[in-house]
Amino acid sequence: MAGPGVWSRLRAGLARTQARLTERLGGALDRPASLDTDTLAGLEEALIGADLGLDTTALVIERLEARLRRSDLGREERLRELLAGEIERLLTEGPPPPGAGRWPRVTLVVGVNGAGKTTSIAKLARRDLDAGRRVLLAAADTFRAAAIEQLALWGERLGVDVVRQAAGSDPASVVFDALQAARARRVDHLIVDTAGRLHNKAHLMAELAKIRRVVEREAADWSLGTLLVLDATTGQNALAQARAFLATASVDGVLLAKLDGTAKGGMVIAVAKELRLPVLYLGVGERPEDLVEFDAHEFAAALVA
């Protein structure tokens, strides 16, 4: 599915996490897997260090131990392969994203301030263009004039139209306008930028719910997804934020941004396992092409490579 360019971007994006993992484990990864307690203790420490989270790390170790105890391994199976296999398994156990592959589609992009929402929208738009889809953007972060300008600038660079109103206008009204425009122009994908918000700001969370209602009413025949953008550099903190977000808003999948700037890439696994949300995309840089569609097998291989 993914070309070599995507592979190298994924590897580059995961380089810090991968380095942290392998550095702590030394040569252990390349030895045949064994039950020796030093190796398992080292592995546990390395996984926690890569921000898998305590629960997920404990689960990985437990499953590895069980397999080693049963010794249903090939004699030469190395710890590296065993670990990649377990990580891939963890990543594919969650529910699949709803409405995947169905067009036309509205994507609401949400998250806390500065997570990487607007930049990620440029990346998603770029993907649509590459796939030959018609895309339209809605500037529903009306909180700051600069936010509208930022999205408009991306639109100009990419050659994609942006539906906007004056700063301070009702975001739901921007989305209403954008939906009419999307229909008239036979758009495949309408991507909605929203203001950064914390889950504990009730009026802002209510605003999100209002936007969703407008989409459900005006585009009942479209598939609707809410994509939560998380900042990978904030590690377990982002996980806690996401958990709080989920308590008040409906979320269908996660885009983990800024993976390139962090050794906390193990967070991907914690998101899938502990939040039970599908990880759909990884952001691995600031340019529109720095987006990787998530693939459990490739991710697991790149992480322990």
List of residues contacting Mg ion (CB under 5 A): 117-118
Compare residues 151 and 304 and give the one whose CB is closer to ligand GTP.
151
Among the listed residues 51, 161, 207, 260, the single contact to ligand GTP using CB under 6 A: 260
Compare residues 117 and 264 and give the one whose CB is closer to Mg ion.
117
Beta strands 105-110 and 253-257, pairing class: unpaired
Task: Give the E-state strand segments of the chain in sequence order.
Answer: 105-110, 135-140, 162-163, 189-194, 223-231, 253-257, 279-283, 291-293
Compare residues 166 and 220 and give the one whose CB is closer to Mg ion.
166
Which range, of 2-10, 128-136, 206-214, 285-293, touches ligand GTP by CB under 6 A? Answer: 285-293
Structure tokens at 209: 């719910």
Of 160, 170, 172, the residue nearest 209 (C-alpha) = 172
Residue closest to ligand GTP (Cβ) = 196
CA 266/CA 271 separation, integer angstroms? 9
Show the 3-state SS of 219-284.
Answer: CCCCEEEEEEEEEHHHHHHHHHHHHHHHHHCCCCEEEEECHHHCCCCCHHHHHHHHCCCCEEEEEC
Compare residues 111 and 225 and give the one whose CB is closer to Mg ion.
111
Among the listed residues 105, 117, 212, 264, the single contact to ligand GTP using CB under 6 A: 117
- Establish if 126 lies at the interface with ligand GTP (CB under 6 A): no
- Establish if 285 lies at the interface with ligand GTP (CB under 6 A): yes
Q: CA-CA distances (angstroms) from residue 296 to 86, 206, 233, 278?
A: 11, 34, 20, 10
Among the listed residues 208, 284, 296, 301, the single contact to ligand GTP using CB under 6 A: 284
- Establish if 119 lies at the interface with ligand GTP (CB under 6 A): yes
Which of ligand GTP, Mg ion, none binds 266 (CB below 5-8 Å, type-dependent)?
Answer: none
Interface residues toward ligand GTP, by CB under 6 A: 111, 113-119, 141, 147, 196, 257-258, 260-261, 283-286, 290
